[in-house]
């Protein structure tokens, strides 16, 4: 069967994980978003985004100490410039501003009113200029370390929101596999914070090197391999730190 990459399947709906491994700064005050002259400002129907929150609630055991935010990125894979960028949930009756922090990330609130209003997540940029992805971080980890359960949760949230972009063949197979993130045909790609010389799975005394892609800018984590538990760590050795 043809190997299937979620990055392609979701049409860059959720970029592979490249988030900075630091605590996010405080929120930046949001102003009223002006979108009347913006063509196609909707990033995603709010109702679909709620499915991501449902997946987060349902699978909290994957990342019980973590927080969930969503990051905005440019279409070419760079953090979205925050200056002038505004985001809101908007419908016929609902208008909820979403404050962005200095890294261009936001928390998504639950709103029954927005759900009933069939609202959209919209910005004051054209839809083709922005991408988003979930960011799940367990606090206290060093900047060169990721936790496997956090990565599994990011995949679960992405897939819940973007399942319409996944071919029906894979959606049907996912029922038997226990979810899209557990399909052997799915390779959910994670981008590293910066180029790495190596990425190593660490669980107790067990070690295993991960294959690097795109000159050390991406890895594919073993999401479906239950022999690596959620507390498994992925430890990066950054290329810039090598002699």
Single pTM value for the model: 0.79
DSSP state of 109: P
Q: Is the pLDDT of residue 20 over 80?
A: no
Q: What is the pLDDT of residues 100-140, one digit of tens each?
A: 998 889 999 999 999 999 999 998 887 777 888 899 999 99
pLDDT of residue 128: 77
Domain limits for position 219: 4-241
Q: Look at residue 1 in the predicted model and tell me its pLDDT.
A: 35
- Identify the DSSP state of 14: B
pLDDT in tens, 196-243: 999 999 999 999 999 999 899 899 999 989 999 999 999 999 998 765
Query: Which range (76-85, 143-152, 178-187) has the least confidence?
Result: 178-187
Over pLDDT 70: what percentage of the chain? 76
C-beta separation of 56 from 70 below 8 A: no
Predicted pLDDT at 233 = 98
Pairwise CA distance, residues 15 & 131, whole Å:
7
Please state the domain count of the chain. 1
134 DSSP assignment:
E
Average pLDDT of the chain, as a whole number: 79
Query: Phi, psi (5° rounding) for residue 67?
Result: -120, 155
Extract the tokens encoding 119. Answer: 């609202």
């Amino acid at each position: 069967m043809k190997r299937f990459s979620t990055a392609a399947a979701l049409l860059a709906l959720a970029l592979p994980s490249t988030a900075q491994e630091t605590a996010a700064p405080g929120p930046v005050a949001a102003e009223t978003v002006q979108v009347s002259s913006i063509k196609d400002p909707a990033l995603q129907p709010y109702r679909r985004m709620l499915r991501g929150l449902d997946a987060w609630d349902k699978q909290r055991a994957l990342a019980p100490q973590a927080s969930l935010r969503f990051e905005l990125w440019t279409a070419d894979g760079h953090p979205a410039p925050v200056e002038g960028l505004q985001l809101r949930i908007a419908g016929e009756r609902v208008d909820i501003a979403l404050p962005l922090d200095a890294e261009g990330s936001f928390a998504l609130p639950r709103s029954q009113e927005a759900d009933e209003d069939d609202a959209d997540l919209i910005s004051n940029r054209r839809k083709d200029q922005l991408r988003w992805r979930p960011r799940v971080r367990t606090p206290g980890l060093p900047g060169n370390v990721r936790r496997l359960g956090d990565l599994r949760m990011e995949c679960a949230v992405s897939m819940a929101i973007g399942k319409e972009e996944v071919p029906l063949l894979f959606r049907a197979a996912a029922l038997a596999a226990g979810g899209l993130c557990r399909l052997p045909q799915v390779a959910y790609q994670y981008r590293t914070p910066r180029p790495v010389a190596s990425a190593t799975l660490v669980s107790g005394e067990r070690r295993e090197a991960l294959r690097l892609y795109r000159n050390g800018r991406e890895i594919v984590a073993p999401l479906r391999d239950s022999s690596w538990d959620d507390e498994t760590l992925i430890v990066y050795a950054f290329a810039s730190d090598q002699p």
